[in-house]
Chains A and B, each alone.
Chain A
Amino acid sequence: MTDTPTGQQDTAVGGPAQPVAGLTGRRRPGEAVFRGVATGAGILILLILMLVAGFLVFQGSPALFADPAKLASQGYGEFAAWVLPYAFGTVWAAVLALALAVPVAIGIALFISHYAPRRLAQPLGYVIDLLAAVPSVVFGLWGSLVLAPAVFPLYKWLNENMGWFPLFSGRYSGTGRTILTAAIVLATMVLPIVTSLCREVFLQAPRLHEEAALALGATRWEMIKMAVLPFARPGIIAAVMLGLGRALGETMAVTMVLSGTRNITFLLLTSENPNTIAATIAQNFPEASGLKTSQLIAAGLVLFLITLVVNMIARWIVARRAEYSGAN
């Protein structure tokens, strides 16, 4: 290479004839467009949320701030006292549903992601996803026509033999259409979404850490406890929150299964069941007018706030141990 003529080297190594532009320059258009679209989408969702909240506050305010005397004259009590049993029923039904659904969902997701042979795992995943596509009115029909009569003997047995357990005490319902039945229907509806999300998170558990656990002599279950579940914890919480959101807001299935009343009770098997906010709105809205409409919309606002608080708690749980999360 030492004998290369200098002339040749000039053309080969020399820079372009025009000096390149400096370090300043226009921003690339693609960048600006993408930034605009992403920012716009972000603002849009905030806007929608604000509009929904605004609608609930303005339309509900007559019931919230009306003169108690006027309310009483029309046959309404104080709003807080009126809505409390429904708020309780909403949270209680959702909590029961999650208590039933989450362990099963995590089990199914782990089976699909870590135990099942691939030939079985994929069809199973599809079936679960299909379950999510069933309309809630179908679940409602199934709950009231099939499930309630089917579980009735079980409820009777539980009540007669395990009535010492507070939740199973009281006088058992003759129809099987109790808050527990509603919770089972809700659990079935929540199951696919929680399962799908958990499965995705479990599949993303780093191979690196799974192998580290196995190489230490962990069994499959120990490996899952060491490397998969801790990594998946924020994802599981997110999945549960989405499931909870669905359970809190579910209307049709509860309306069709439950003939709820306005009371606060933890009893699972009696015919005196608390109703949920969403079901109450659905049941009463068609005939409501004036102050009653406001009252129902204000109940919707309460549901909105419950969901908000639940999500904030979830965020807090996830953030609390952020430095230990799988992310770093």
Chain B
Amino acid sequence: MSKRIETTDLNVYYGSFRAVEDVTITIEPRTVTAFIGPSGCGKSTFLRTLNRMHEVIPGARVEGEVLLDGENLYGNGVDPVRVRRQVGMVFQRPNPFPTMSIRENVLAGITLNFSRMPKSEQDDLVERSLRNANLWEEVKNRLSLPGSGLSGGQQQRLCIARAIAMAPDVLLMDEPCSALDPISTLAIEDLIGELKENYTIVIVTHNMQQAARVSDVTAFFNIAGTGSPGRLIESGPTDKIFSAPDVRATEDYISGRFG
């Protein structure tokens, strides 16, 4: 269920502008990998190449390869729709579908894929996904109400439930807590800790304490200046990156000297 991601010399472009340069990294299964770095350093852009969401922006393209357990996501004939069904994503702002109920939101991906699923199986899946997202107890009596009526933190957990209902191999999270209050953030962080038992998790965060709390591996991205591409400076076990990084820039960033 949980898969390894490897990228080699990945370059990401918006039109002619190179946003990310030569990223080579291996992301291990059943671990939480955090991407940190200053704004505009390309960490979100890079994250979005891992489920081919990058290319929905007109003019955006990728050079290099992303291997998901050895299979190149950018190979010939690979269908981005199928990639996204295996690599789930949670966004910066909670985005449950406003026209759907809580239950419909959880089932949104499933109804796309295996449009016929017996109702009892659907019920099971809704309960299981919401339980895994630590949301079941709060919403079990109002599954038919709109998802947009929930609080921000609950909405974000609903989005996580919606993503894991698809049983993906990888879960990408793009600053999932940046729009949430500290208590909701804590709930999501606890949830990430539980989810890594089953999933490869990649999280982009601006919050270094969060990276230190939730991740096993940390990757630091940086840019030389505006207009130059973002690069992966170093990656390694989170303990090491936060205590004794190899590169000076990492230490400067982590200790708050810039960024």
**A interface, CB within 8 angstroms of B:** 118, 206, 208-209, 211-219, 222, 226-227, 230-231, 233, 321, 323-328
Contacts and interface: CB of A to CB of B under 8 A. Distances in A.
Given A211-B91, A323-B146, A324-B146, A217 B97 contact: no
Contacts of B148: 328
A326 B98 contact: yes
B162 A216 contact: yes
A222 B56 contact: no
Contacts of B146: 323-324, 328
Given A321-B99, A324-B99, A327-B98, 10 more contacts: A118-B58, A208-B91, A211-B91, A216-B84, A216-B112, A216-B166, A217-B84, A218-B112, A226-B112, A233-B99
Contacts of A325: 98-99
21 contacts: A211-B56, A212-B97, A212-B162, A213-B97, A214-B53, A214-B84, A215-B84, A215-B163, A216-B84, A216-B88, A216-B112, A216-B162, A216-B163, A217-B84, A217-B85, A226-B108, A230-B97, A233-B99, A321-B99, A324-B99, A325-B99
Nearest to A233: B99
B95 interface: yes
B88 A215 contact: yes
B240 to A, nearest CB: 32
Nearest to A210: B56
Contacts of B206: none
Contacts, number: 78
Contact of B109 (A209, A216, A219, A324): A216
B166 A324 contact: no
A212 B84 contact: no
A309 B93 CA distance: 41
A263 to B, nearest CB: 44
Contacts of B53: 211, 214-215
B98 A217 contact: no
B213 interface: no
A215 to B, nearest CB: 4
Select the residue from A211, A215, A216, A218 with max chain B CB neighbours within 10 A: A215
A218 B80 CA distance: 10
Nearest to A324: B99
A231 B109 contact: no
Contacts of A328: 98, 146, 148-149
A226 B88 contact: no
A294 B120 CA distance: 66
B81 A226 contact: no
Select the residue from A118, A212, A216, A328 with max chain B CB neighbours within 10 A: A216
A197 to B, nearest CB: 19
A216 B160 CA distance: 11
